[in-house]
Structure 1
Amino acid sequence: MQGKVFAIYQIEPLMAIKSIGIDIRDAHEKGAGKSRYALEITRALLAEGELKNVHFVLFTKRPNPHFPSGLQVLISGRGPFWHLNLRRYLQSRPVDFFLAPTSFIYPAIAPSSQKTALVVHDLIAFLYSKTHAWFPTWVERLTLSRALKKTRLIICVSRHTAHDLATLFPTLKKPVLIASPATNLRPTKSQKLDLPSRFLLGVGTLSPRKNFQALFAAFSRLAPKHKDLHVIIAGAKGWKTARILRAVPSALRSRIHFLGYVSEPQLCELYSRAAMLVCPSVYEGFGIPLLEAMACSCPVVASNRTSIPEVVGDAALLVDPSNTPAFADAIEFMLGPKVRATYVHRGLKRAQSFSWEESAKHILAEF
């Protein structure tokens, strides 16, 4: 699941790594999957690197409370100017390796003397650009090809993303390491939130590729029979949120609830109390909510597309998200107590097979 290199080409032998720089601007709890990946993989790398006497330099725009202040270097500048200022800094004070966990810009402009590694979370900007905001799409299309040519190591969060990368860039001859996300969430008995007694849960930024409209359509078929069943969506507003809100059936507005961004303890409570997580996404580079749900004893009904089958294995019910009757049937089936218990057990076991520590070890080994 993790640590597989999808290339016969290997990095040439290097001296022992003494210093690693990491871009931590987006490493925080309040963001989406990329932000959480940056936060947790940096934490795990620091823990593993300490055992190997590796010195870390964490580059950011403003102090990050999640990491020791003594390791942080503040770089000024907005947008691309931050990366240009970072380049100037590293030209005079290079590190042995630089990891870019959320952006392709610095690897694309780094001097050839600076070894870099970049993380590819997904290829939405290339494969599903109509479901993605135009500006990040433009930036990724502009920088990824150049970054791939210059970087020493490519890290993908899933085999599916690695496959997409190889398809889009067939002449690429660089090491590709799979270093998957994990989750530290666990079930909770908390009852602090005012929630319906039974609800289907959707988690993610309100954007087109999350395809929450498919959940609303399936719920419309179930609602007349399950009058106590509600839908709760937890996630910040995103690109074209208004379109998603307009898709809510008028007759069901009182039973479909949008919570916006929720804290980690609140998210744990939502997973722990939900009847199931429903994930009808049309594209996921990985899908961290899938792991989070399974780790919190919440069964999963999900789309059968892109990386989702790789992440959940046999621990979820997978359905074509464009087939509304089939999606509704899968949700209905998962509502059965015995079926639900089976998938809760499978999900807990599946979630335990992912580890931030193992991903960090594989990254350090490649460095």
Structure 2
Amino acid sequence: MKAVFAIPGDMHRKTGGFIYEAEVLAALNRIGVQTMHLQLPDSFPDPSPHDMATTLAALAKVPANIPVILDGFIAGTIDPYGAAQLAAPLLAITHHPLGFETGLTTARASLLVEKERAALAQMAHVIVPSPHTAAILCSDFGLDEQDITVAPPGFSRPPAHIALPQTPPLILSVGLLAPRKGHDTLLAALAEIVDLPWCADIVGKAHDAATTDALHQLRADLGLDDRVTFSGEIDSASLRARFGAATLFALATRYEGYGMVFGEAMLCGLPIVSCDTGAVPQTVGDAGILVPPGDAGAFGAALRQMLTDADTRVTYASASAQQGSALPTWEDTAQIIANVIRTVACEDNHPI
């Protein structure tokens, strides 16, 4: 069984979507699905006409009996007419709808939704990380439930180690410095609990200079320069060490199609504070306290409860560890996708 996995630019970027795709690509090959990586222009989801033509030409070279897995940026914005002319069946990996990104103008969001609806209609099948994303694609994008498969992200079990929470308690947040991740809400919430002993570390690379500058300015305005660190992007070993040193995990996200970082926190048995939005309730389950997105007061109150009430913290930490132990491996995820590849390869190439 063979497949091609088409990804724009560097697939080793440290964001949830690209981590998912790089891990799935490697795991498919480990379980016996010969999957070739096809690197496409990195301008998606805003490809130039030249990059779109280059993409379609590359995909046109794939034989009709070899399914092509498309990264979500490509699958959401590929020219639908061009996609319809391709011989190979197309499988979309849709992490969350592109038009649901925080900070878009109404016109931009509407355009992305319109493009993604047209593009997904040309897919032989769509793979999503959560039931929430599947439901959104059915309700807002016109897909049928039978044409979507949920393949939750897998997780590599960290080496056995003894967690050594630091003093004062470390509040750890991990996420791209982008508006959707809600780091501004987190900073405002932290300003509500300055009477308590704690320090905080926000790990994640800059998405754009304006957002990064605004977050650093907000930290200064709130008087948190001595208590909150922006660590940028760090390597895997350093990140594991940060999880091991943390007392709790906090992400004030405004929307997630899954939220892989919650799984990382649960693998370490950390209690979680986050927001009741998107797939977060399905992902976090009983492992944490969820509050409305953008509500710094409620987020701060949840942080205070976690830090001051040992029973609450232990209860959520126990649930987190239990759920973490039940998370799938990347081989589990790859097997789900392999089943889709096998089914699509055996069918006539009809779009949904």
For this structure pair, what is the TM-score category when the shorter chain's length is used for normalisation? 0.7 to 0.9
Query: How far 1:236 moved relative to its partner?
Result: 0.4
8 Å Cα contact 2:8/2:71 also seen in 1: no
Matched, 1:35 2:18: yes
For 2:96, the equivalent position in structure 1 comes to: 122
Q: 1:121 is matched by which residue type in structure 2?
A: H
Change (3 A) 1:269 1:291: same
After the TM superposition, which residues 1-367 of structure 1 pair with which residues of structure 2 at under 5 Å, given as runs?
18-25=1-8, 28-48=11-31, 50=32, 54-60=33-39, 79-90=51-62, 93-102=63-72, 103-104=74-75, 105=77, 108=80, 109-110=82-83, 111-123=85-97, 125-128=98-101, 130-131=103-104, 140-141=112-113, 143-170=115-142, 172=144, 175-186=147-158, 189=161, 197-226=168-197, 229-239=198-208, 240-248=211-219, 249-335=221-307, 336-355=309-328, 356-367=330-341
Query: How far 1:325 moved relative to its partner?
Result: 2.9
d(CA) in 2 for partners of 1:43 and 1:220? 42
Change (3 A) 1:211 1:333: same
Q: 2:217 is matched by which residue type in structure 1?
A: R
8 Å Cα contact 1:201/1:276 also seen in 2: yes
Question: Match of 2:96, SS?
Answer: coil
TM-score, normalization by structure 1: 0.78
Query: How far 1:107 moved relative to its partner?
Result: 8.0
Q: 1:57 is matched by which residue type in structure 2?
A: M
Q: 2:151 is matched by which residue type in structure 1?
A: A
The structure whose residues are more often helix, as a share, is 2
Query: How far 1:337 moved relative to its partner?
Result: 3.4
8 Å Cα contact 1:131/1:207 also seen in 2: no
Query: How far 1:188 moved relative to its partner?
Result: 6.4
d(CA) in 1 for partners of 2:145 and 2:292? 34
8 Å Cα contact 2:52/2:79 also seen in 1: no
Identity rate, percent: 22
Change (3 A) 1:129 1:233: closer
Question: Match of 1:301, SS?
Answer: strand
Change (3 A) 1:231 1:177: same
Query: How far 1:121 moved relative to its partner?
Result: 0.5
Which string of whole-angstrom CA distances, capped at 9 and with x for unpartnered residues, describes residues 92-131 of structure 1?
x4442111133215584333431110011112x3234525
Query: How far 1:168 moved relative to its partner?
Result: 1.4
8 Å Cα contact 1:122/1:161 also seen in 2: yes
TM-score, normalization by structure 2: 0.82
For 2:346, the equivalent position in structure 1 comes to: none
Which string of whole-angstrom CA distances, capped at 9 and with x for unpartnered residues, describes residues 154-210 of structure 1?
111111111221221236576110011122152665999xx8742211111111111
Question: Match of 1:360, SS?
Answer: helix
8 Å Cα contact 1:87/1:106 also seen in 2: no
Q: 1:361 is matched by which residue type in structure 2?
A: Q
Number of residue pairs matched by the alignment = 324
8 Å Cα contact 2:121/2:143 also seen in 1: no
Q: Unaligned 5+ residue runs, structure 1?
A: 1-17, 63-76
Question: Match of 1:201, SS?
Answer: strand
The alignment yields a C-alpha RMSD, in angstroms, of 3.0
8 Å Cα contact 1:200/1:278 also seen in 2: yes
